[in-house]
Structure 1
Amino acid sequence: MSTIAFIGLGIMGSPMAVHLAKAGHQVIGYNRSPERTAALVHAGGTAAESIAQAVADADVIAVMVPDSPDVQSVLAGEHGVFDHAKPGALIIDFSSIRPDVTTELATQATERGFRLLDAPVSGGEAGAINAALSIMVGGSAEDFAAAKPILDVVGKTIVHVGPSGSGQTVKAANQLIVAGNIELLAEAIVFLEAYGVDTTAAVEVLGGGLAGSAVLNQKAQKMLDRSFDPGFRIELHHKDLGIVTAAAREAGVVTPLGAVVAQLMASARANGDGGLDHSALFRGVERLSGRKPE
């Protein structure tokens, strides 16, 4: 069993930290909003008042925060992980950030005597709660092997995809696919409703054919119910699609459908839906179709 500092106890981070505590690890959690540590403490973990306090005795440091600047601040900022962790500590960054930022942070970590893996996850809140996340890991094979027992506690599909930054690149591709699927599902349901079709029956039969997908299974009912409590917020997916479009341009790769869905995600955010689940792209289709979202 390891001593694990877990920084970032939001929608995803909290259940992940709870799983690690219940598995017998000593988990010390830190979150900018202290009340977010309650679930971890209830599961047997402890709460820290600062990053420095959380990482002081940690063998493993897990990070799950929203964006590239947040990870840079947590790791390399004043009073951050690099200034206070034990030499040799293994840092697992579960956040979804820019691949180039990850690569630079990995270089800094090595220079400071740490080991850093980028390990972004897919599966949303349900995957975190059910310990069924897909985890795409970048970094050295040796560090991946060391982290694998930790990753096994919170994930189901765990794959080492290459050197530092590779996990973030694969996650960007994942977010491109997911966004496209959500948008097309939303368009299909608005289309079906316009013709008065039994949408529950339609979704059932569509799910049994080639149109079936994890997105359909997890998001169709939310659209039918107009229930968009966040499992993964539009504002975060907007951020991820910004990563995709920037990285694609740098690589000279054209993503025409990705560019369209990135604009639709930006529109949803601009219309006040940023705090809703990304299935609320449905509301954007309704707006474009001349219907007022419920």
Structure 2
Amino acid sequence: MNIAVLGTGIMGAPMARNIARAGHDVRAYNRTRAKAEALATDGITVADDPTHAVVGADVLLTMAADADAVIALAEQLPSGDAIWWQAATVGIDGIERCATLAEERGLTLVDAPVGGTKQPAEQGNLQVFASGPDAALDACTPLFDAVGSTTLRLGDTGAGTRFKLVFNHWLLGLVENLAETIAFAEAIDVDARGFVEILAGSPVGAPYVGIKGPAMVDREFDTSFPLALGAKDARLALEAAERHGLELGLMPVVLERFERAIARGHGDDDLAAAIFGSVD
């Protein structure tokens, strides 16, 4: 298949590479061209603008920071009968905006955000939360297989986005709880590193503790997913809950702590920099 990948940041670039390695023809576009140029060594054509990237494409893949960035890309797409795989986390309002635009342009929208960060994206081990028309999902299955280890088919367009919001609610709560617990351990002179090691291997722990815990203890952040985007995802969860008449108790605290760490200059650092929302 011919694939156009629009947005080649931390997630989009490795997804483009894995799709190309699976034997598909890939053209890529990124607003900052320098971020896409390295893809040329993988046989991927780097386009100067979205219009050139999508010429003749069977599937248009968008992976940008938020709904506004996705829509800004998609508004430059020509009308046609291609499939638009929207893979970013854009929230309920965002996917509805995408659906409206897709209908206007004659595109078939596949709402399939992905779970995972930089390393799983590089390894082709993302989780794909796919929703949309069955025929379009069937057509995209080879692409899902190229970028992910697991694909959930969840029903009509919008179901993937809602599932991703729930997934992120759990993940962000886990990260903040870990950050605060490490801060608590340090404050009362408990060996935080030893605690993380025990927790990572405990039935009450989680594998993610072994990934983010050491980074929090060492205050070393190789960005696999920026904290600023974690805050964006927390806001999307809160917006979705409010829309459905549910008052979340944990997520406002998570967002407040993330924003505190961002205000201290850690927005571009990895999600593990949430620790700076709990320590002075």
* TM-score (norm. length: structure 1): 0.90
Contact 2:259/2:277 (8 A) holds in 1 = no
Residues 20-48 of structure 1 show CA distances to partners (whole Å, capped at 9, x for unaligned) of: 11111111010111111233211111110
SS at match of 1:10: coil
Partner of 1:186: 179
Partner of 1:223: 216
Cα distance in structure 1, aligned partners of 2:237 and 2:202: 29
Instruction: State the one-letter code of the partner of 2:60.
Output: I
Instruction: State the one-letter code of the partner of 1:187.
Output: E
Written as runs of structure 1 = structure 2, the 5 A alignment for 1:1-294 is: 2-76=1-75, 80-81=76-77, 83=78, 87-287=80-280
Instruction: State the one-letter code of the partner of 1:56.
Output: V
Please state how far the C-alpha of 1:107 moved relative to its aligned partner. Answer: 3.6
Instruction: State the one-letter code of the partner of 1:45.
Output: I
Cα distance in structure 2, aligned partners of 1:266 and 1:193: 22
Residues 149-193 of structure 1 show CA distances to partners (whole Å, capped at 9, x for unaligned) of: 101100112112222222111111122111111111112222233
Mind listing any 5+ residue stretches in structure 1 that lack a counterpart?
288-294
SS at match of 1:170: helix
Contact 1:21/1:40 (8 A) holds in 2 = no
RMSD: 1.6
Contact 2:260/2:276 (8 A) holds in 1 = no
Residues 208-260 of structure 1 show CA distances to partners (whole Å, capped at 9, x for unaligned) of: 22332132122011112211232111111111111111111110012101111
* TM-score (norm. length: structure 2): 0.95
Contact 2:223/2:269 (8 A) holds in 1 = yes
Cα distance in structure 1, aligned partners of 2:162 and 2:67: 14
Mind listing any 5+ residue stretches in structure 2 that lack a counterpart?
none
Instruction: State the one-letter code of the partner of 2:22.
Output: A
Please state how far the C-alpha of 1:195 moved relative to its aligned partner. Answer: 4.2
Instruction: State the one-letter code of the partner of 2:103.
Output: T
Partner of 1:291: none
Cα distance in structure 1, aligned partners of 2:33 and 2:10: 14
Instruction: State the one-letter code of the partner of 1:183.
Output: E
Q: State the percentage of identical aligned residues.
A: 35
Cα distance in structure 1, aligned partners of 2:42 and 2:278: 41
> How many residues are treated as equivalent by the alignment?
280
SS at match of 2:71: helix
